[in-house]
Amino acid sequence: MTAATLAVGTAAGASRPARRAGLLPRPTRRRWWADAVGLAVWASLVVVVALWERHGGIQDLTAGTAEALTSLGRLTGLISANLLLLQVLGMARIPWAERALGQDRLTRWHRLAGFTSFNLLLAHVVLITLGYAAATSTGALAEFWSLVTTAPGMLLATAGTAALVAVVVTSIRAARRRLRYESWHLLHLYAYLGAFLALPHQLWTGADFLFSPVATAYWWTLWGLAAGAVVVFRLALPLALSSRHRLTVSAVTQEAPGVIAVHLTGRRLDRLRVAAGQFFVWRFLTGPGWTRGHPLSLSAAPTTAGLRLTIGTKGDDGARLAAVTPGTRVLIEGPYGALTADARVRPRMALIASGVGIAPLLALLEENVRTRADDAPPILLYRASSDADLVHREDLSRLVATGSLHVIGLIGHRARAGTTWLPAQYGHVPGPQALAQMIPDLVHRDVFVCGPDAWSEALVSDLRTAGAAPEAIHLEKFTW
């Protein structure tokens, strides 16, 4: 296999000097948070099961059909409520958890907890209804109607369940692909509504919540933590951060068809802790639609001179983003993500990007030039459909010209068969073999990957087969 090297030496502006402003301070990354979060999740589930057992849960399993069904219904409801509140905590974007776990890992946990919680909620409804029906010798449908219309808080709980159904249905991959990001995000906020509409039902009719001071303290603490985290980390801190730094758009440049770069300046940027490779949720105050948040990575090493992000304008909300002009105020939430140099475990670095996935990797490359002395230049594999779709060629030109980077362009329409992360002309080459030829010292390099879901998954599978260690593969997918 022969891969084309990206032509970079004669790009216009290649001799432009790099900004001399200092890098911004990195946020602290506490690796132990990853273990602490996992332990906290399991500990909370153990507490819930223990409280259920203290309230006669196991004894009721052998006391008869009605009691057994009701007891299992209580247990599934308790675990479902616990997972739902843990989800709310996860949605709160607590900075330390975000930096320790990374966005992709949190997303996987969020989906697993969400679908598990929802399935347990349905089991809770069915089991409780059947248990009560068996105890009163009534039909299941009649008992369900009676519970909904007469039990305290049940009408609110039913409305909350309907909101959660909307969230779950639109979170199925097939449904998500048909929705605009903004529409999906708005619907996803109904998870908060569903969680908090369930609270009256749990307190008024949930004996497991109130049977002992320990149970009451546990559930009120978890509810308080969930609500407080949302208020603090999704509302108060982003507003305070935006107010402190007052970011505004200073320039907008066209980088490729359907791709723009937005340059921003602000106040006291030396106090903005963010690392190359991280992303913010951006809200551009451009009139109608300004509330829409866009998770976008920095595409240049963050410095006291300003920030830069790269935006594809062909997708959702693209027309409005393409119209952003200098002077536009910007609200920010973050920074988030763990695709940073702190994740490195090898002495060398390789980076593989598809399309605008170059953005966070370019920021990492710029930071690498300023802060590290690797014993071999980084290798970048850059995937694009055509030469015209390559983004930030001038920046890549400067890095190549100084010997700080080797670039291999993977240009052409994507292969439909064979190795699908390669261009069609190379699709017949096995992925591991292609990687071994382009990155001969792969086992000695950290590999940073950024691109669409299916493309990234196929690439990561081949990286592992080619010998890259799992801990040396760092992934940031385009997903929501």
What contacts 17, CB < 8 A, 6 or more positions away? none
> The tokens 């998770």 sit on which residue?
295
Query: Contact at 8 Å (CB) between 9 and 400?
Result: yes
Number of other residues whose CB lies within 10 A of the CB of residue 150? 9
Quote the pTM value. 0.80
Query: Contact at 8 Å (CB) between 306 and 263?
Result: yes
Q: For residue range 36-65, what is the model confidence (pLDDT) as tens digits?
A: 888 888 999 999 999 888 888 888 888 889
What contacts 200, CB < 8 A, 6 or more positions away? 152, 153, 156, 157
Structure tokens belonging to residue 250: 């200073």
Question: What domains are defined for the chain?
Answer: 32-240 (1.20.120.1770), 246-336 (2.40.30.10), 341-478 (3.40.50.80)
Parallel, antiparallel, or unpaired for β 259-265 and 307-312? Answer: antiparallel
Q: For residue range 268-296, what is the model confidence (pLDDT) as tens digits?
A: 999 999 999 999 999 999 878 788 888 89
Q: How far is CA 142 from CA 74, 174, 405, in A?
A: 20, 35, 71
Share of the chain above pLDDT 70, in %: 89
Q: In 307-351, which residue ranges form alpha helices assigned H by DSSP? A: 318-322
Q: How far is CA 283 from CA 182, 239, 288, 334, 361, in A?
A: 12, 11, 11, 12, 23
Percentages helix, strand, coil for the chain (3-state, rounded to 5) are 55, 15, 30
Structure tokens belonging to residue 66: 């009605």
Q: For residue range 123-143, what is the model confidence (pLDDT) as tens digits?
A: 988 998 999 899 888 888 888
* pLDDT at residue 102, as a whole number: 73
